[in-house]
Amino acid sequence: NFFKDIKPENCLLDRFGHLKLADFGSSMALNEDGSFVSISPVGTPNYVAPELLQILSSTLSAQDTTQQKLDPSCDYWSMGIIGFEMIAEKTPFQNENVYDTYSEIQKYSDEMRLMQVLEFPSDVKMSRKLKDLLNGLITKPRHRMSIDEIKDHPFFIGINWHSLRDQAPPII
């Protein structure tokens, strides 16, 4: 499944300390090729992936959006935004006006631009591995990390993904 609305409010911890996602109202089943087609954007402004905003833009300009194929990497963008927020105490594209937030997200991921790198607050200390991971998630869809690249990222060294549910979670 593709969640489409990953945000802190939808991330819960179970009684054992493992992460659970809540509110599957906007989730979608994937097609056989691992994609989905969406004709309407869904997501919370500060966490929505730019490719979902493109659907909104197409809808507002009356372009045909019936064949907009997307994939679950939209969720990886949202997870990157949450990671950034956990460290910086704010999301990277945050404005008073939702349309300004959308504009910043689209501008950041504009296909005509060179590879963008996130700007982290100067007072925030974080490892290079975490910065690299976040930059690999919060990027243009064609440059965004795959699930295998995420699992193999140096930030996650030592994680046994196959037995994750059987492991004691980190400090809560």
Q: How far is it, in rounded angstroms, from Cα 107 to Cα 109?
A: 6
Q: What is the DSSP string of 62-129?
A: T---TT-EE-THHHHHHHHHHHHHHHHSS-SS--SSHHHHHHHHHHHT-TTSPPP-PPPPTT----HH
Is 14 one of the annotated active-site residues of the chain? no
Active-site entry in 5, 64, 100, 132: 5
SS3 label, residue 20: strand
Locus of tokens 């008073």 = 96
Sequence-ordered list of residues with C-beta below 8 angstroms from that of 127, at least 6 positions apart, any chain = 155
Helix or strand run (H / E) with residue 52: helix 50-60
Query: Shortest CA distance to 76 belongs to which of 147, 128, 148, 153?
Result: 147
The set of catalytic residues is 5
